[in-house]
Structure formats: structure tokens, C-alpha cells
Amino acid sequence: MKKSVIFMWSCGMFLLILCLVAKVSSQETKTSSNDPKEVCANNLKLIGQALMLYCEDNGGYFPPPTRWPALLFPKYLKEYSALSCPSADKETPTHTLMLANGKRFSGHYGMNSELNDPVSVSKGWITMPNIKTMKNKEIIPAIMDIKGPHILFAPWTVCNDDGTKPTSMSPRHDNGCNMLWTDGHVSWLSWEKYIQLGSQRNGWEWLTNWK
């Protein structure tokens, strides 16, 4: 009888521990999935996948920076909500989409203007980048958290002349921003690192290294 009671008590404790572990795990997953910084990073990953599909269908070339959201959604990007950063609900949007149901949707990301800039190409400043041939894609910025109403950013004008205040980046996440790079990976940049990259002469290393 005593052994039976001990066995039942042990089983009960084991089940209780399993329930507690499952509850904690569920709470951690929920917290993680609701973290604005993580949601934003996942948004940019989805945008990156859509961007790659667009490039594949267009000879390797990127969409015009002033029209990229409308060209990605809904053909390549199925979820329009991925265009909006959850931490930017009170900021001026970078763009507005007209949805099929007639409603408008505002987004909060901007694209590197040099990924498709016919003017700079015509003046011989750059060559038109092509995803199939460009080098060092892991260090070339594609799309990031930026301040509206602009829908694009130029890498060499990311800071004021004194190199102390970003003019494009919106520090929404832990005083920094999420960046989608042209190789498809997403990473977080601190305000300080963003200033360093933007103010150095070859900080972004995009002018000479994508050829």
C-alpha cells in the first residue's frame, strides 16, 4: 500500500512538472513572437524573400525604390502587414498601399535608392546593380526601418554633415534599426554603428564592391 502511494505521488509530481515546463515554454514562445523587434525582423525576412523573387522575374534587377511596395505586393509578398513595423504605429508612414477591398494600408520601411537609380547610372557614377552578378551582397543595405514620408534612402546621406544624427534611420528598436541586406539576411544595427557606417567614406562599401 505504501509503495503504491509513493508511486502515485511520484507520477503526480512528474505530471505537474511537465505541465509547468509546458506552460513556461508556451509563455516564452508567445513573448518572443510578440516582441516588436523580432516581428520587424521577420517582416524584413519576408520582404527579402519577395525581393529575391522579383529579381528572378526581372533579369536580376531590383524594383524602382519609389514603387517597390506596390511591385512586391501582392504578387511576391502575400501579407501586406509585413510592410509595417509594429513599433512605428505613431510615425509618419513611408508609403500607403491601396488594397483590393478599397482600404489603405501604411508601411514603414524604405529601400536603398542606389539599387535602381537610372540617373546615377546615366551620369556614370554607378553601374546598375544586378543580384546575379553583384559582389559582397552581405554588406550592401537593401531595406530598413526609416522615417516617413520618404520611401527610400541614399547610403551616403544617412547622417547629418557632422556625422552625429541619422537623417533616415528610425531607431525604433533598442535605439537601433533592423536592416535587410541584399543577400537576404536581416540584422540589427545600433545607432552608433549606423552613424559609423554612414559617415565613413567607404562605410557601406557599396559603391565599388558590387561591381
Q: Which of 9-13, 132-136, 157-161 has the highest mean pLDDT?
A: 132-136
Segment 76-88, tens digit of pLDDT: 999 989 999 999 8
Q: Which of 69-73, 111-115, 124-128 has the highest mean pLDDT?
A: 69-73
Burial class (CB in 10 A: 0-12, 13-18, 19+), 51: buried
Burial class (CB in 10 A: 0-12, 13-18, 19+), 96: middle
pTM: predicted TM-score of the whole model, two decimal places: 0.76
Q: Residue 45: its pLDDT value, please? A: 96
Q: Residue 56: its pLDDT value, please? A: 95
Q: What is the chain's mean pLDDT, rounded? A: 77
Segment 50-68, tens digit of pLDDT: 999 999 999 999 999 989 9
100 pLDDT more than 80:
no
Number of other residues whose CB lies within 10 A of the CB of residue 179: 22
160 pLDDT more than 60:
no
Segment 165-207, tens digit of pLDDT: 556 778 888 888 899 999 999 999 888 787 777 655 444 554 4
Q: Residue 164: its pLDDT value, please? A: 55
pLDDT confidence tier of residue 24, bands split at 50, 70 and 90: very low
Q: Residue 186: its pLDDT value, please? A: 96
